[in-house]
Structures are given as C-alpha cells and as structure tokens.
Amino acid sequence: MGTPEVASAMKKTGRKRGLITMRDVAQATGFSPATVSIVLNNAPLARYIASTTRQRIEETAKRLGYRPNAMARFLRSKRSQSIGVILFDVTDPFCIPILRGIENALYPLAYLPIFADAHNQRDRFERYLEMLLERHVDGLIVVANWLFVDIDVLADLNKREIPAATIGWELPGKRVSSVMVDNEAGGRQALEHLYQSGHRKIAIIRGPKRLIDTAPRWRGIQKFAQSVKLEIDPALTLQLPDLFDATSSFEHGYRLTEEFLQTKKKFTALLAFDDLTALGAMRALAKAGISVPEQCSVTGFDDVAVSALAVPSLTTVRQPLEVMGSTAVGIVMDAIKAGQENRDWPVVSQKLHPELVIRDSTHNT
C-alpha cells in the first residue's frame, strides 16, 4: 500500500531511494515543511497545531517511513549527540568494563559513542583526536594509562572547545577532568589483607615507573608496612618494565616471579601490581610446583573479568571500572550543558574507592 506512494514521493524530488525527507512528508500531507518539523519534533509550537493536522502528519510520516536525518539536524543545531571515546587499547581487559559503563550511561541520553582505539600509539591517538574534532563530537572521554601521550592538547581542548574527561590517568595541574581510583588506598588494602592473613615475607611486584598508578600504590603499601612495622625486603621487590601492550604484564609477572624463585628467598605471599601480573605470577608458581594459595598467596589489582575465572580465582583490589565510565559521562554531560548555556565548566577530579575482593588465591598462613 505504502510503497507506490513512497516511490512517487521520491520520484518527485529525484532523490536516491530510501531517503524520505521532511519535504516528502510535507508534500504528501499538503502542509509546509516547517509545520511538519514542529509536529514531528514535538516542538513548543506543537501546542498550537490542530490535532487533526498533527495526526495527518504523524501518520503520513510513519507510512512513508520517514526518518529524520541526523546529519542535517546536527549541522543546524551544532550538536552531534556523540561522544568521542578514545581507548588506549581495547585489547586490554581494563578497558572493557569502562567502555560498557560509558555506553550504558550514554544510552538513556540518546547519545552514541564514537569509538577510537589508540593501540597504545601516540600518533594514532592524535589522528583519532583530530578525526573526532572534525566530527564535532559534543564531548570526549579518553581512557589512558600510559604516559607517552602528551595529552596537553586535551587541556586546551577542554578549555576552548569541547568538554573532556580522562579515566585512569590525570594531567598534572588539574586542567582536565579526570576519574581515577584511589590507588594509595588500594595498595594499602592489598597489603593489609595479606598481613592480616598472617603473611610477613611478602614479595612485591611494583608497576612500571612511568605509569601514574605505580607511585601511589607503592606509597599505600609502604605506609601500611610502616604502620605495622612490617619489613619490606628489597630483595623481594621487583618492578615491571615500561613496555606496554595488553599482555606484557602477564609475561613480566611470570618472569619476575621466576626471578624471585631463583633468589631462593622465602616468601609466603606475592603482591602483584595488577591482575595480569598476578596471573603471570600464578603460572610461574604453578610451573615451580608451588600451589596457590596453600604455599603462596597471590593478590592482584583491578579485578579485570578474567580474575574471577582463573583457577584459583584471584583475590584482588577492585576498581569500579563501570562506575568510572559512567562517572566520566556525568562529568562530560554536565560540561556540555554548561557550554550550551554559555557558562564555563569546572574541572573535576573524581577519586573513587577501590574494594578488596577476597577469592581463592589468598589464604591464612
């Protein structure tokens, strides 16, 4: 029934098939495009439109299969209803819950994320940033965890063009909003758990020097150790190297644990910088015939999805990754609203609390 009319509507304007515009609806109903617009958007003026008119238009729009053209709308309104999301590496399990949190917070707002994955490469990050700016995304969320991106550009952006927020990383000087976990508290929680389980000889794998999380986690560890007069043996402390890709920490967790074992120093627990490091450590321990947790407890950090599936499941310090994603969305959306109302928006730095998740990889000594 509808099809012939659609065809004729399209013929009249000579447009490519499948593209019904407001004008087509206007012609089909006999009203003007302006009226159609008002009705279909339920604009304020719609109050004054005769209800018969309204019905005619709505019904016709549906019958013709009219679909608003977001491009045109965006051009007019200067809002793209899109948020650019740049991840340092999708392949890193850390990113996934964050991405989910972002998407989930955007959904009810009818915003869509435009997805960019930097592959841990600086030039790729910059290229994507440029592409997103050309698309005039309304806001920007950057999930970063490594340093070699000089994200100073973001600070500028945030001040003069579009609202931005970073997750898992922050710019010195509070010039861009950020969402982070309280790393110091987390470091403390991990060590405290091991200590309270009776461990005194604890091997520690620290994070890579240049990673922003490394120092505060270590500080949390040291502070707790001091507070209970626990001695941290330097010979049982190693540091991950500064190389990055999604599984490098697994491999290095494995290697560093082998190093620990070679020293013949006794330890009854191992505190790893993050979950993948911990899993690597667990493999090395298994290979050496050391059972976890009976002979050695292991803790991680992040509570990445795999940690719950490992055998034994991993005790870890949970980052509220999904919440971090949605929090960033909240910050950016507030800023967008401010921008629309021509107000300045604040730089906000959220620090969320980590949570100790006790599973099967730790054990009383």
Partner DNA sequence: TTGTATGCGTTATCAA
Partner DNA sequence: TTGATAACGCATACAA
Residues at the interface with its own copies (CB under 8 A): 16-18, 67-72, 74-75, 78, 80, 82, 85, 90-91, 93, 96-97, 99-100, 103-104, 107, 110, 112-117, 119, 124, 130-136, 160-161, 246-247, 250, 276, 279-280, 282-283, 286, 305-306, 308-313
Query: Segment contacting DNA (CB under 7 A): 18-26, 278-286, 295-303, 346-354?
Result: 18-26
CA distance 272 to 260: 12
Q: Which is nearer to DNA, 64 or 347 (CB)?
A: 64
Nearest-approach distance from CB 25 to DNA, in angstroms: 8
The set of residues, in sequence order, having a beta carbon less than 8 Å from that of 286 and lying 6+ positions away, is 292
In the beta sheet, which residues pair with residue 20?
none
> What number of other Cβ atoms are within 10 A of residue 150's Cβ?
11
Q: With respect to DNA, which residue has the nearer C-beta, 75 or 358?
A: 75
Question: In a 10 Å sphere around its CB, with 0-12 CB exposed, 13-18 middle and 19+ buried, how is residue 18 labelled?
Answer: exposed
Q: Binding string, 35-54, against DNA, x = CB under 7 A?
A: x-xx-xx-x-x--xxx-xxx
Q: Report CA 34 to chain centroid distance, whole Å.
A: 41
When binding is defined by CB under 7 A, the residue of 7, 8, 12, 19 that contacts DNA is 19
Provide the pairing of β-strand 315-318 with 355-357: antiparallel
- Least distance between its own copies and beta carbon 133 (Å): 6
With H, G, I as helix, E, B as strand and everything else as coil, classify residue 320. Answer: coil
- How many residues sit in the footprint of DNA (CB under 7 A)? 34
Least spacing, CB of residue 50 vs DNA, in Å = 4
Does residue 131 bind DNA (CB under 7 A)?
A: no
CB 100 within 8 A of CB 69: no
Give yes or no for residue 286 binding DNA (CB under 7 A): no
Strand partners, 112: 82
For residue 199, what are the contacts with CB-CB under 8 A and spacing of at least 6? Answer: 268, 269, 297, 365
Residues between 69 and 88 with contacts to DNA, criterion CB under 7 A:
69, 72-73, 75-78
For residue 353, the 8-state DSSP code is P
Contact between 140 and 164 (Cβ < 8 Å): yes
Which CB sits closer to DNA, 12 or 343?
12
Q: Which residues bind DNA (CB under 7 A)?
A: 13, 15, 19, 21-23, 30-35, 37-38, 40-41, 43, 45, 48-50, 52-54, 66-69, 72-73, 75-78
